[in-house]
Amino acid sequence: MKSSNVIRLVLVVLIVAAAVFGYLYRDSLSRAGIQAFIEGFGIWAPVVFMLAYMAATVLFLPGSLFTLAGGALFGVWEGTAYSLGAATVGATLAFLVARYVAADWVAAKTGGRLRRIIDGVEAEGWRFVAFTRLVPVFPFNLLNYALGLTRIPVVHYVLASLVCMAPGAFAYAYLGDALAQVASGVAQEGQAQDLRGTIQNIFIAIGVFAAVMFLPRLVKRLRKRPIPGEEQESSP
């Protein structure tokens, strides 16, 4: 069997498995539901969390929800690592699905945006991927699929995505960890000192989050080349 056929077969199996998972656990895809579900797996919790995150990325579910939950469940650094790793793998799976399995479907879904994305990649290569990861010109989940129809090498796509999604992953994980600390501090009576420290942490988290959210504006201002079709693109 040709390698391209093997890739298609594996991707189809993954798509079916992800769809079944999303259907079976559709009522649990809230922050509290995700947290309760993941914690029940004990030492396997990080693996289950990452698999759920990957499936969510392929199925167009909001990754920010999972990243917040990752920070709350595992802390800032581990939450960032797990979330970033899962988001990168999920985005790569969507990229490969578009390239090897569902090109026609992706082209129909992306419409006129696809031409602008293809033009951007042809003009700038991995730099365009890096820019669109930092600045949400195109919806994240849609971009994962659309980039699969460009000629960018997989390695360039993965590395640019991994590096440029890291600031956002850290900010959401930090905020999720701080929110979890506040919830824990409020639940423990007589812990006024700890609660004050926790509230201080939440303000720091908000500051970190605001700084990362300002990053797209800074990058966009420093960028000299206009975004392909930017004047036609509505704000997300």
More confident site: 103 or 4: 103
Q: Does residue 19 have a pLDDT over 60? A: no
CA-to-CA distance for 145 and 45, rounded, in angstroms?
A: 28
For residue 35, the model assigns a pLDDT of: 63
Residue spans of beta strands (DSSP E) within the chain = none
Residue spans of beta strands (DSSP E) within 63-177 = none
Residue with tokens 């093997």: 6
Residue 55 CB neighbour total at 10 angstroms:
23
Q: Are 101 and 8 in contact (CB under 8 A)?
A: yes
Q: Are 61 and 30 in contact (CB under 8 A)?
A: no
Tell me, what amino acid is at 200? Answer: Q
Residue with tokens 């650094």: 77
Which tens digits make up the pLDDT trace of 27-64?
554 555 556 666 677 788 899 899 989 988 988 887 88
Q: Does residue 96 have a pLDDT over 90? A: yes
Nearest partner of 76 among 201, 191, 187, judged by Cα: 201
The model carries a pTM of 0.71
Which tens digits make up the pLDDT trace of 125-144?
888 888 888 876 778 888 89
Mean pLDDT across the chain, nearest whole number? 74
Nearest partner of 34 among 19, 20, 49, 46, judged by Cα: 49
The distance of Cα 34 from the centroid of its chain, to the nearest Å, equals 16
- What value does the CA radius of gyration of the chain take, rounded to a whole number of Å? 19
Sequence-distant (≥ 6) Cβ neighbours of residue 153 within 8 angstroms = none
Kindly indicate the confidence band of residue 234, based on its pLDDT and cuts at 50, 70 and 90.
Answer: very low
Question: What is the percentage of the chain residues whose pLDDT exceeds 90?
Answer: 18
